């Protein structure tokens, strides 16, 4: 099939999000100047080198590589992503922060391999589901192996632990399963099983229960578990209708935890107010609708599943992050795609976008 041009609307939205992210990140990063041990220059350099340069290069490269070529390498990509994720448990390589072992240090650089696992996981699941055909409706031949694949990845993620990222990946896999023609009865069984599993994990890991309790009653512990959401709401409220102005956030200086991480939307809302927040949300909504439209007109099932998987991961993560900062979703620690600190995360996000753009070149 002859390739067409990439979806210019999606590409334009991504460029606007990345440029906006650079501006928002640069302002939020100034909050590091008031914190001991934090280096503005090193953080900005890593974000630029790995995220902007590396991510942009990967997006360009993968938008020009026929996406169907990924099928023959899907298993090897998946195994590589699993092995590099397991490297977090190797002494001397894996790094622990805040009680979680999610990072590896290589040649002086830190990266979160779960971002690579997201890509390998979606490519492998898309390959597997697109080859199932009529077997997808069989519980024994379709649903059970699917649960096994997701459960295998879940075991790795829960060992770190990184429950939030796994939930995003599981949601993407479920969306792909539905798109591939999985039966709603089986979907219902998996959803109920996931809720039961989440309840068990919540009871065995107190920090998850604390998050849920804090979400329901953040005012109960304003200096402890509820501190981040309280400071976030202060930042959002301080922004008013039009905001304090670019670079004028007060909360990013010593008040908001992780002003360049999962709290960056609160910094943005304080500086650009209600108007700016709505504009950013509309950008993500436009990105969402355009991405899923590409899935709807994809040339084949494999391409459709790739787009559904990648779009679900990016979009769900974005709206959960913004929802948490607005107090309408539990705090998760998930970064805001295209904007939050994390060179590996931005690299992975733009890699996903590159594959989506390539699928758009072979639309019906």
- Domains of the chain, by residue range, sit at 8-360
Confidence (pLDDT) at 152: 94
Residue 307 burial (CB < 10 Å; 0-12/13-18/19+)? Answer: buried
Confidence (pLDDT) at 220: 63
pLDDT digits (tens, 9 = 90+) for 31-43: 766 555 556 566 6
pLDDT digits (tens, 9 = 90+) for 64-108: 999 999 999 999 999 999 999 999 988 878 777 766 778 888 766
Confidence (pLDDT) at 262: 84
Confidence (pLDDT) at 40: 59
Q: What stretches in the chain show pLDDT beneath 50?
A: none
- Reading the block at residue 119, the tokens are 């890509």
Residue 88 phi, psi (nearest 5): -65, -20
Quote the CA–CA distance of 267 and 232 in Å, as a whole number.
Answer: 8
Residue 221 phi, psi (nearest 5): -140, 70
The residues facing 104 across adjacent strands are: 94, 111
Confidence (pLDDT) at 331: 81
pTM listed for this prediction? 0.92
Q: What distance, in Å, lies between the first and last C-alpha atoms of the chain?
A: 10
């Amino acid at each position: 099939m002859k390739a067409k041009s990439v979806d210019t609307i999606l590409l334009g939205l991504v460029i606007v999000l990345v440029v906006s992210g650079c501006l928002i990140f640069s302002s939020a990063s100034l909050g590091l100047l008031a914190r001991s041990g934090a280096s503005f220059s090193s953080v900005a350099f890593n974000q630029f080198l790995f995220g902007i340069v590396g991510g942009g290069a990967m997006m360009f490269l993968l938008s020009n590589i026929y996406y169907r070529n990924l099928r023959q390498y899907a298993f090897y990509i998946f195994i590589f992503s699993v092995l590099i994720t397991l490297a977090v448990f190797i002494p001397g390589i894996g790094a622990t922060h805040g009680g979680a072992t999610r990072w590896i240090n290589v040649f002086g650089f830190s990266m979160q391999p779960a971002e690579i696992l997201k890509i390998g996981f979606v490519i492998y699941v898309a390959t597997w589901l697109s080859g199932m055909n009529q077997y997808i409706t069989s519980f024994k031949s379709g649903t059970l192996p699917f649960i096994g694949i997701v459960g295998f990845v879940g075991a790795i993620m829960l060992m770190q632990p990184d429950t939030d990222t796994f939930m995003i990946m599981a949601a993407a896999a479920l969306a792909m399963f539905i798109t591939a023609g999985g039966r709603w009865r089986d979907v219902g069984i998996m959803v109920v099983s996931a809720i039961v599993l989440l309840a068990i994990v919540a009871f065995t890991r107190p920090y998850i229960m604390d998050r849920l309790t804090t979400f329901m009653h953040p005012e109960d512990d304003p200096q402890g578990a509820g501190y981040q959401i309280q400071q976030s709401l202060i930042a959002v409220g301080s922004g008013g209708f039009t905001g304090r102005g670019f670079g004028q956030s007060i909360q990013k200086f010593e008040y908001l935890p992780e002003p360049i991480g999962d709290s960056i939307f609160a910094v943005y809302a304080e500086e650009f107010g209600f108007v700016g927040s709505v504009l950013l949300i509309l950008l993500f909504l436009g990105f969402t609708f355009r991405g899923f439209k590409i899935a709807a007109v994809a040339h084949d099932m494999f391409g459709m599943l790739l787009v559904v998987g990648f779009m679900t991961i990016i979009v769900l993560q974005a709206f959960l992050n913004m929802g948490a900062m607005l107090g309408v979703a539990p705090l998760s620690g998930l970064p805001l795609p295209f904007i939050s600190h994390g060179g590996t995360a931005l690299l992975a996000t733009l890699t996903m976008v590159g594959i989506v753009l390539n699928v758009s070149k072979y639309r019906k």
